[in-house]
Structure 1
């Protein structure tokens, strides 16, 4: 396995103490980001009793990543995409205090403990009427690994009678989940469909295929189109650009309610995609919210370097990069 490129992350930031009780569920009940109500995990069933909660709609639970919080751009972009779409119950897990501090000594162990508690919470919601078949878990980075652990705990606690319908992991965190000696990574058995978007593989994101279906836009690695050359100031906007591109792709697919975005083709590798060698018998799959339930394997595509990121059907035909020196 390749050497991890950001060893400083293993050392982490300042230590911080937080308890599981600091985690909250945020229910978005209106059309704007500010229309939200917070609930303790122990009061989760109260969400089902809210006048604005519609059990006929799909419910999405979003899990943010390391050192993220309610005021950060990713949460607002993801939330506003769902609010624009208007056909989901949107619940966000605010675990900002637990996702802070030293990555390896604080945030990762906290995520694993929280997964156990969230599994209890979701099972309680299901037992009180939440439609499990319409529940979708979406997680970014460390939140992606948290979602996998949560799915496993739900199966375990229900004696394998309940399995999540779908988990979508947006560039799930790399360290310390691969090769899996310390913590078991997100896997295809954690839900009926585990779809993964890779945008920073081998750096902050998972280095290998880890779901039912794995999408590798622009090879799935840094640098994603439109991202500046990394200066390797750890966790800076510059450093995180490719890692963050996964949730930008997701949000765009969610907001485009009437159009399926990001078509992709099944290939054995990025080199095969570049050569036009794709599996002609496999269906086209759409990266993002419209990913079908019946696909598996590795899918490839190209995107634009800025909004809108989806190239539509042209994204499934490789176009070489234009070198800077060749531009007029």
Structure 2
């Protein structure tokens, strides 16, 4: 066994040796495998704070990582609701069984792709998604979780992006086979999840010659390779991008029919952090929290169309052309949209957020005061 931090390449090992290694995992764990994996996770967490490129190039011991649950694409989970209002977790292989759950063709459908793991807190990704599933009973909501931990996220980025995208394609096919109109489906995802969702939508459109109604990409990740930035206008009838960081983690350039830049972050190079944030990873998460506040709490977070951030600061915008962050957008919405938001719930300034102000009073309990995230 190589030293901690070294990369073990297993592709050329005999299959029977791999089998013996995996069968021996409990014994090996007692002799240091757990310590190596602990080092892997610590290294990945540290590198994530430096950005996707550093994260993807982290010198982890991949041979050890393969011994732990959560590595295989088949470990991904589906979360759906039953007709008795119970949230159920299913393995990804249960896609054909979706028609047995509370999927109503008369309702709009939200398929949320999660590929971002955060520590448990009031701003936890997992907690927000749980609230979303259990509160929005007016929608068919299916959550696909590809990131139960940072190890799985690592492999999703490095090795399994195409497999995960294919899973989303199969989900879309199962939903339309169950009577859901493609145009009534909204795909949404944050960070890596946005690119997985875009790939699934693209595969679905090429196979079925139909477009899903909408893709909402929340600060799409810059990814390990630029070729893996898959959010583009052609993958859905409407593509909405809500930007958040635009420097290390999120894509800066406009990618959708509609691109929303809260507080100008991700558009204006000199502005780096969202309100209440002290780290770039916090700014990367910020638009996810805005989106969840709009969906779960029904809070209006309006943005106005503007030619640029400079025009927004000057008040030279089309204030007759506004929209709200969420699921429903005006049919003619197109271009760049800006707004001002604050550092803690409720994040919206309502209609006052449509105009720039250099300084606003900052409420207490900001994001910066919350527990650190992965």
Of stretches 312-321 and 217-226 in structure 1, the one that deviates more from structure 2 is 217-226
Provide the secondary structure at the position in 2 that maps to 1:265.
Answer: strand
Q: TM-score, normalised by structure 2?
A: 0.72
Structure-1 residue corresponding to 2:275:
225
The aligned runs of 1:35-50 (5 Å cut-off) are 35-50=86-101
Structure-2 residue corresponding to 1:170:
218
1:215 aligns with 2:215: no
Counterpart contact for 2:204–2:210, Cα < 8 Å = yes
1:251 aligns with 2:301: no
Alpha-carbon displacement from aligned partner over 1:85-141 (angstroms, at most 9, x marks no partner)? 3311221112236973574x6524312221023212321331232332221111010
Structure possessing the higher relative contact order (Cα contacts under 8 Å, 6 or more residues apart): 1
Structure-2 residue corresponding to 1:236:
none
Q: Which of 72, 80, 104 is equivalent to 1:19?
A: 72
Distance change >3 Å, CA 298–CA 82, structure 1 → 2: farther
Counterpart contact for 1:81–1:254, Cα < 8 Å = yes
Provide the secondary structure at the position in 2 that maps to 1:246.
Answer: helix
Distance change >3 Å, CA 291–CA 300, structure 1 → 2: same
1:299 aligns with 2:337: yes
Q: Which of 355, 362, 370 is equivalent to 1:317?
A: 355
Distance change >3 Å, CA 101–CA 65, structure 1 → 2: closer
Alpha-carbon displacement from aligned partner over 1:289-319 (angstroms, at most 9, x marks no partner)? 2333331111000001110001110000111
1:270 aligns with 2:320: no
Provide the secondary structure at the position in 2 that maps to 1:189.
Answer: helix
Counterpart contact for 2:307–2:317, Cα < 8 Å = yes
The separation in 2 between residues aligned to 1:98 and 1:256, in whole angstroms, is: 27
Q: Which of 117, 123, 127 is equivalent to 2:167?
A: 117
Of stretches 313-322 and 80-89 in structure 1, the one that deviates more from structure 2 is 80-89
Counterpart contact for 1:31–1:83, Cα < 8 Å = no
Provide the secondary structure at the position in 2 that maps to 1:215.
Answer: strand
Counterpart contact for 2:81–2:133, Cα < 8 Å = no
Task: Please state how far the C-alpha of 1:184 moved relative to its aligned partner.
Answer: 4.6
The separation in 1 between residues aligned to 2:354 and 2:117, in whole angstroms, is: 34
Provide the secondary structure at the position in 2 that maps to 1:54.
Answer: coil
Provide the secondary structure at the position in 1 that maps to 2:161.
Answer: helix
1:28 aligns with 2:81: yes
Provide the secondary structure at the position in 2 that maps to 1:204.
Answer: coil
The separation in 1 between residues aligned to 2:292 and 2:153, in whole angstroms, is: 28
The separation in 1 between residues aligned to 2:343 and 2:148, in whole angstroms, is: 33
The aligned runs of 1:107-256 (5 Å cut-off) are 107-158=157-208, 161-176=209-224, 180=226, 182-221=227-266, 222-228=272-278, 230=279, 239-256=280-297
The separation in 1 between residues aligned to 2:338 and 2:293, in whole angstroms, is: 18
Structure-2 residue corresponding to 1:279:
318
Which is helix-richer, 1 or 2? 2
Structure 1's unaligned 5+ residue stretches are: 231-238
Provide the secondary structure at the position in 2 that maps to 1:44.
Answer: helix
Provide the secondary structure at the position in 1 that maps to 2:264.
Answer: helix
The separation in 2 between residues aligned to 1:31 and 1:314, in whole angstroms, is: 41
Structure-2 residue corresponding to 1:234:
none
Task: Please state how far the C-alpha of 1:69 moved relative to its aligned partner.
Answer: 9.4
The separation in 1 between residues aligned to 2:149 and 2:170, in whole angstroms, is: 18
Counterpart contact for 1:64–1:143, Cα < 8 Å = yes
Q: TM-score, normalised by structure 1?
A: 0.81
The separation in 2 between residues aligned to 1:121 and 1:87, in whole angstroms, is: 20
Greater Rg over alpha carbons, structure: 2
Distance change >3 Å, CA 275–CA 30, structure 1 → 2: farther
Task: Please state how far the C-alpha of 1:195 moved relative to its aligned partner.
Answer: 0.6
Structure 2's unaligned 5+ residue stretches are: 1-49, 267-271, 363-374
Counterpart contact for 1:187–1:194, Cα < 8 Å = yes
